[in-house]
Amino acid sequence: MNLIELPFMKSKISLRDFPSAKARREFLEKELEINLENIAKFTFTEEQVKGRNIENLIGATHIPLGIAGPLKILNTKYQILNTYIPLATTEGALVASISRGCKAISGASGACVEVETVGITRGPVFKTAGIAHGQKIKQWIQTHIPLISQITQKTSSHLKFLKADFAIVGRNLFVRFYFDSTDAMGMNMATIATQAIVKLIEQKTQAKCITLAGNFDIDKKPSWLNFISGRGKKVWAEVILPKKVVKEVLKTTPAKIVEVVNTKTHLGSIMSGSLGFNSHFANIIAAIFAATGQDLAHVVEGSLGVTTAEALENGELYFSIYLPDLIVGTVGGGTHLPTQQEALKIMAVSDVLEYCRAVGAAVLAGELSLIASLAEGTLAKAHQKLGRKK
């Protein structure tokens, strides 16, 4: 209800009753005896975000924006793209570290990045009469894929039904629907389409939908299902670094980097029960997401992934990252806001696949630099120099 009831107030006030962000903000300033002059500064209009991005608007929170790059990326046609990476963060040393990784990669062969569309998912759960009934519903869905595809298209011309996965537990049937949402992140579109599909299934099978989202999606939570099956986009990025670049830019050796990867990101993750076998994917992804208007809660899915490294026989370093669960878009959500639009222009990406390649290459750069810092023993020194107020 968004009601406020302070001890000295005679009546409840709904924040939605205020006609504007300014009025809502002035009310808070008066009632709480505070000044919100910085929150009051923003570049978007209320019309741009009302009913789309925010409720009870009072202003905006500002995050420092840095830039890393240029970062040399090889696309699937082995064309070279030099991309700059906008990073919104309050963590000192992060942009500097990613910049060093960009320098090392661009000084070598560049980052080779591949992207695969898995699809955005929505996973309802149905109550059935029993296991046999659950199997019949599953079979009905599998034999009516063309009809389900038609239902999907009716809800959005930008959404394509891909497939369904299933799990039966007692009288519960979990279904995981996959959709290609083109350049949009697509969670809202997938939810609307799934609602229409669920209605059809209930009519045809006598199943009863318990909830539209039964955690079989699985959205905004780390999970082995997303790790193994993927969600959104799968992204692979790799680079081969000459020994000279490792020494001069990263200040260490291939052998030391390989040792840190094996002991920290692999063995250390095993010993701690981590779902991410990497050093700090979430750091880079969070900074890019904040800069470009992505749904920040999906950073938790981006934290999944694997880092690998090998010392090659010729003395060079092979270094790679794998992101099985990248949930992003270049249209919709917060991507239309003015500063986020400018950040996307900095990246110079034409669609979501190019955006994913840039994110994958940036994660590769950030991961490489941090692990090199650990290998050379300068992590604390870097944070002392760049991450603390003198």
Do 284 and 187 touch, CB atoms closer than 8 A? no
Which alpha helices (H) appear in the chain, and where do they start and end? 21-32, 46-49, 94-106, 131-142, 145-155, 187-205, 224-229, 243-248, 254-260, 269-272, 281-292, 299-302, 338-347, 352-376, 379-386
List 91's β-bridge partners, or say none. none
Q: What is the DSSP letter of 265?
A: I
Amino acid at 10: K
Q: Kindly list the distances between the CA atom of residue 274 and the CA atoms of 15, 224, 251, 309, 373, in Å, as whole numbers in the listed order.
A: 41, 11, 29, 19, 22
Output helix, strand, coil percentages for the chain, rounded to the nearest 5. 45, 25, 35
CA distance 237 to 368: 11
The single residue of 26, 29, 91, 310 carrying the catalytic annotation is 91
Instruction: Please give the structure tokens belonging to residue 80.
Output: 């070279």
Q: At what angle do helices 131-142 and 145-155 cross, to 10 degrees?
A: 70
The single residue of 144, 266, 336, 383 carrying the catalytic annotation is 383
User: How many other C-beta atoms lie within 10 A of the C-beta of residue 335?
Assistant: 21
The yes-or-no answer on residue 325 being catalytic is no
The yes-or-no answer on residue 295 being catalytic is yes
- Strand, helix or coil at 40? coil
- Let me know if 228 is exposed, middle or buried by CB neighbors in 10 A (0-12, 13-18, 19+): exposed
Q: At what angle do helices 379-386 and 352-376 cross, to 10 degrees?
A: 110
The single residue of 219, 295, 301, 316 carrying the catalytic annotation is 295
Question: Tokens 């009809």 correspond to what residue?
Answer: 147
Do 334 and 84 touch, CB atoms closer than 8 A? no
Q: Kindly list the distances between the CA atom of residue 19 and the CA atoms of 1, 12, 22, 251, 308, in Å, as whole numbers in the listed order.
A: 16, 17, 8, 58, 54
The yes-or-no answer on residue 17 being catalytic is no
Length of the chain: 390
* Residues noted as catalytic: 91, 295, 383
